[in-house]
Amino acid sequence: MGFSELFWRDVCRVTKCLYAQPLFHLFAGKMSTTDSFLKTEISWEDDYRDRVNPRLITELMHRCVPAVQACNWQVIAVEEGYAETLLPLNQATTNQHGTHQAALISLSADYTGGMAIVSLLRGVPMAGIHKCSTKEAASLWLAAMNVKYKSPSTGDLIGRCRINDINRDKILSRYSQGKRVLVTLPVIFESNGEIVAEAEMTYFCQPAIQLLEPGKKTSTLFNQKIKASARMIAGVRAKAYFTENGRNYRVDSAHTEIAAGPQGALLAEKLNRALPQLVEMVQARTQHGEELIRAIPRLQQVVNMGAGLDMRPFQLQSAYPNLTHFDLDLPEMLHERDRVAALIPNSSNVNRISIPADFLNDQVDELLLKNGFDPTLPTAIIFEGCSMYFSSEINRRMLTAMGNLLRHPDSRLWVDFVSESVFNGQTQIPEVLEFLARMDDLGEAFVFGCDDSARLSADCGMQLVESLSVREFYNRKGKPSQDPVLDQYSFSIFKQADDQ
């Protein structure tokens, strides 16, 4: 509810739209404990103009929370530690008596108190509101509320929240150190000169990069975000199909609809409206990876790096009853994967081995070998939607580790890449620039791209078998496209080097 909704805007700002399992790269740019998370060098005047002025904040809030747009709720004044809002008395906000709905007063209270906190965090973009990356953003969500309604609201409702000096110091001190803030703030509402309601609103606030600290228990919000991202990708896959000999075939079958659930279907629909090319990319990579799996003779093992809610193991069960699937992911995501699997009939017949993994720190080949993987058997390794969010160093380490497992001549590694121009800002193609601007709206920043997968594979001890862009893939399928954005995303297939 409330500011927590902002954290989920469109497709969950911190989650990674291009890939099946999010957030492995969350710590790649993690700040040290000696850095401050506040940008104190920015003046209040500049911060007000660029981040928290009422007109800007109202526009951003209307964009990310349709409910407040329908109500024409507005921020009308902002100072450091103070916010003032307006909930109009109109058709959308009133009940059968022509007075404000109590629930909408509570909604306004949430955002009024939240905006007061936002005003204090000088220079810090708010995840879900501002364009931002995980490294620089603040996370804010409502933990509890207590609203006392004193009288009916019969006119435009003014909400005010002013943070006192004690709470101000607490918020600034803890946030600047990267610590979680838990604070209760008063919000007062007046209409026609009378107090209509008084609220006590309790918020959590912390730097987004601190949502998961290595070695510590993960937060509930982090766990929910990675699940939402996986459900969204499942929702996109649930509508994917390919055409062959004039017939349409589902890629991930009904299993993916179960994995997506209502939330995944909704997020996929939002993603399709915001970035239809991204949906095309996800569907193309799903089909291409599927084709690789089915093309390997006598296939016996499939490794899914960042498994998320990829339902291929269940879809492939009838054609490959003796196939062993190795699913690597964060422990929280594997738990969700098991929950979804339990909803699928006969899922216990699928031979799945779940391996908790942190790609930033674990040696994935060692993890697999310790859990029964046999590198001498025909194998497909799928490394989907991750490379663009890891540094070059991490990518090379992981690709080398996976290449070490391709000891059978028929074994293959599938990887997707964005082009170098996408992440280094060198492209001048208008359609690509617009696509990147929309990705920026989602708070996503690529940190790695590859234009020469043959050289990369050689550096990692492998040999390139095939590389093609999404546009080339669709052209091959008889679905020609002139969209240059589809040239910026490609699939590569590797095998062991001939001299090994």
Render pLDDT for 62-93 as a digit per residue (tens, 0 to 9): 988 889 999 999 999 999 999 999 999 999 99
| pTM exceeding 0.95 | no
Are 289 and 425 within one domain? Answer: yes
Residues 229 and 164 in one domain: no
Q: Are residues 224 and 346 in the same domain?
A: yes
Q: Nearest 10 degrees: CA dihedral of 225, 230, 234, 240?
A: 110
301 and 175 inside one domain: no
Q: How confident is the model at residue 477 (pLDDT cuts 50, 70, 90)?
A: confident
User: Would the pLDDT of 424 be above 80?
Assistant: no
Whether the predicted pLDDT of 14 surpasses 50: no
In a domain? residue 13? no
15 within a domain of the structure (yes/no)? no
Residue 129, pLDDT > 90, answer no
Q: Residue 210 in contact with residue 222, Cβ under 8 Å?
A: no
Q: Does residue 1 fall inside a structural domain?
A: no
6: left (phi over 0), alpha (psi -120 to 50) or beta: alpha
End residue of a domain, out of 186, 210, 234: 210
pLDDT confidence of 266, banded at 50, 70, 90? confident
CA of residue 61 relative to chain centroid, distance: 19
Question: Mean of the pLDDT values across residues 481-491?
Answer: 88
- Other residues' Cβ atoms within 10 Å of the Cβ of residue 46: 13
Distance CA 292, CA 253 (A): 17
- Is the residue at 18 inside a domain? no
Q: Give the residue among 387, 425, 35, 392 at the shortest CA–CA distance from 207.
A: 35
433 compared with 447, residue with greater pLDDT: 447
- The phi, psi pair for 457, rounded to 5°, reads -65, -40
> In this structure, are 175 and 309 located in the same domain?
no
For residue 196, give Cα distances in angstroms to 82, 106, 144, 184, 430.
19, 12, 20, 20, 51
pLDDT of res. 31 = 38
HEC-encoded secondary structure of the chain: CCHHHHCCCCCCCCCCCCCCCCCHHHHCCCCCCCCCCCCCCCCHHHHHHHHHCHHHHHHHHHHHCHHHHHHCCEEEEEECCEEEEEECCCCCCECCCCCECHHHHHHHHHHHHHHHHHHHCCCCCECCCCCCCCCCCEEEEEEEEEEEECCCCCCCEEEEEECCHHHHHHHHHHHHCCCCEEEEEEEEEEECCEEEEEEEEEEEEEEHHHCCCCCCCCCHHHHHHHHHHHHHHHHHHHCCEEEECCEEEECCHHHHHHHHHHHHHHHHHHHHHHCHHHHHHHHHHHHHHHHHHHHCCCCCEEEEECCCCCCHHHHCCCCCCCCEEEEEECHHHHHHHHHHHCCCCCHHHCEEEEEECCCCCCCHHHHHHHCCCCCCCCEEEEECCCHHHCCHHHHHHHHHHHHCCCCCCCCEEEEEEECHHHHHCCCCCHHHHHHHHHHHHCCCCCCCCCCCHHHHHHHCCEEEEEEEEHHHHHHHCCCCCCCHHHHHEEEEEEEECCCC
Is 204 in the same domain as 257? no
228 and 103 housed in the same domain: no
Lowest mean pLDDT segment, chosen from 193-197, 242-246, 294-298: 242-246
pLDDT band at 15 (very low <50, low <70, confident <90, very high): very low
Domain assignment present for 245: yes
Residues 201, 236, single domain; the answer is: no
pLDDT band at 217 (very low <50, low <70, confident <90, very high): low
Question: Which of 20-29, 116-125, 311-320, 439-448 has the least mean pLDDT?
Answer: 20-29
In a domain, 396, yes or no: yes
Which pLDDT band holds residue 247 (cuts at 50, 70, 90)? low
Lowest mean pLDDT among 5-14, 93-102, 219-228, 381-390: 5-14
pLDDT digits (tens, 9 = 90+) for 176-214: 888 889 999 999 999 988 999 999 999 999 887 776 544
pLDDT, mean of residues 133-137: 73
Residues 184 and 321 in one domain: no
Q: Is 68 domain-assigned?
A: yes
Q: What is the percent of the chain with per-residue pLDDT over 70, rounded to a whole number?
A: 82
CATH number, residue 437? 3.40.50.150
Residue 14 lies in a domain: no
The tally of CA atoms less than 13 A away on the side-chain side of residue 124 is: 30
Average pLDDT over residues 442-465: 87
Average pLDDT, the chain: 83
What does the pLDDT read at residue 85? Answer: 98
Higher-pLDDT residue of 113, 386: 113
**pLDDT score, position 432:** 73
Structure-model confidence comparison of residues 130 and 94, the more confident one: 94
**Count of the separate structural domains present in the chain:** 2
pLDDT for 328 equals 95
Same domain, 306 and 334: yes
Write the secondary structure of 161-200 as one string of H (helix), E (strand) and C (coil). Answer: EECCHHHHHHHHHHHHCCCCEEEEEEEEEEECCEEEEEEE
Task: Return the CATH number at 85.
Answer: 3.10.129.10
Pair 205, 227 in one domain:
no
Greater confidence (398 vs 336) lies with 398
Between 47 and 131, name the one with better pLDDT: 47
Single out the residue in 156, 187, 210 at which a domain terminates.
210
CA separation, residue 123 to residues 39, 75, 79, 450 (Å): 5, 19, 14, 33
Final residue in a domain of this structure, among 166, 183, 210: 210
Q: List the Cα angle 131/484/128 in 5-degree steps.
A: 15
**Contact call for residues 198 and 151 (beta carbons, < 8 A):** no
**Distance (Å, rounded) from C-alpha 75 to C-alpha 126?**
16
Phi-psi region of 461 (alpha: psi -120 to 50; beta: other; left: phi over 0): left
The pLDDT value given to residue 240 = 61
Host domain of residue 161: 24-210
Rounded Cα distance, 93 and 72, in Å: 9
115 & 202 share domain: yes
